[in-house]
């Protein structure tokens, strides 16, 4: 992924020092995966936000991207990616909530194939164009209802959900391969818990990864 291909704006805000400061903050907060940290450093986050907010792109904070959606704070993206890939020996990941594509871009070099579903088709169209400009091609896109997942290409070795569900979506659980891992925020606003779900032979194991704040996983397209 090269900045030259992306037509980068505001090069001063994307200096190595600025990105290194962000990475160090994530290390201080407990992120240990060198692969994930390298992706946080390499992905040009300022291209995933409105130009007016580009100067804040490398702060460890969520930012609005329009249409009632947000780009997650880098720590949360790093935490979810690290948890998903810890011990991951699969190839395919289902992403629920394409959003602006930042999570997709961070994850894409670390797995073979991503299948991503987004309720807002226009948002996904713009994101697909952005990711193509950045050289991200191992992603297949589908506008649709995140609660339904994408059964056609399942079961998936991993599922990552970037919006908060009120409960674990049954259809996503069924699309998780044996031994597969799902990272999903669960709960109402103000009481959301980032949850790791692992599919065992005859049951699902759940582990809490801590409190988070996400936009809701809205049903329908």
For 73-131, the pLDDT digits (tens) are 999 999 999 999 998 888 999 999 999 999 999 999 999 999 999 999 999 999 999 99
Residue 5, pLDDT above cutoff 70: no
Distance, in Å, from the CA atom of 186 to the CA atom of 192, rounded to the nearest integer, reads: 5
Known catalytic residue: 121?
Answer: no
Cβ(193)–Cβ(166) below 8 Å: no
* pTM summary value: 0.91
The pLDDT, as a whole number, for residue 3 is 41
Q: Among the options 15, 33, 55, 72, which is catalytic?
A: 72
Domains plus CATH for the chain? 62-212 (3.40.50.150)
Distance, in Å, from the CA atom of 162 to the CA atom of 211, rounded to the nearest integer, reads: 14
The pLDDT, as a whole number, for residue 93 is 98
What secondary structure, in 3-state letters, does the chain show? CCHHHHCCCCHHHHCHHHHHHHHHHHHHCCCCCHHHHHHHHHCCHHHHCCHHHHHHCCCCCCEEEECCEEECCHHHHHHHHHHHHCCCCCCEEEEECCCCCHHHHHHHHHCCEEEEEECCHHHHHHHHHHHHHCCCCCEEEEECCCCCCCHHHCCEEEEEECCEECCCCHHHHHCEEEEEEEEEEECCCCCEEEEEEEECCCCEEEEEEEEECCCECCCCC
Close Cβ partners of 150 (under 8 Å, ≥ 6 residues apart): 94, 115, 117, 142, 144, 175
The pLDDT, as a whole number, for residue 6 is 40
pLDDT, tens digit, for every residue of 38-71? Answer: 999 999 999 999 888 888 999 999 998 888 788 9
Q: How confident is the model at residue 13 (pLDDT cuts 50, 70, 90)?
A: low
pLDDT, tens digit, for every residue of 164-205? Answer: 999 999 999 999 999 999 999 999 988 999 999 999 999 999
Q: Span 133-160, mean pLDDT?
A: 97
């Amino acid at each position: 992924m090269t900045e030259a291909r992306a037509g980068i704006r505001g090069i001063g805000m994307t200096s190595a020092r600025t990105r290194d400061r962000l990475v160090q903050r994530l290390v201080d907060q407990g992120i240990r995966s060198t692969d994930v940290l390298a992706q946080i450093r390499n992905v040009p986050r300022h291209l995933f936000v409105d130009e007016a907010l580009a100067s804040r792109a490398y702060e460890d904070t969520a930012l609005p991207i329009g249409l009632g959606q947000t780009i997650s704070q880098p720590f949360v993206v790093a935490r979810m990616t690290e948890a998903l890939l810890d011990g991951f020996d699969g190839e395919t990941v289902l992403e629920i909530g394409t959003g602006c594509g930042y999570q997709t871009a961070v994850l894409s070099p670390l797995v073979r194939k991503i299948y991503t579903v987004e309720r807002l088709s226009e948002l996904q169209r713009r994101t697909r164009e952005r990711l193509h400009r950045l050289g991200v091609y191992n992603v297949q896109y589908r506008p649709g209802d995140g609660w339904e997942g994408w059964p056609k290409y399942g079961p998936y070795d991993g599922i990552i959900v970037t919006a908060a569900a009120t409960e674990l979506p049954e259809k996503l659980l069924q699309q998780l391969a044996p031994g597969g891992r799902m990272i999903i925020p669960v709960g109402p606003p103000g009481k959301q818990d980032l949850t790791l779900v692992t599919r065992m032979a005859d049951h699902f194991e759940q582990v809490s990864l801590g409190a988070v704040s996400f936009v809701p996983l809205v049903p329908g397209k």
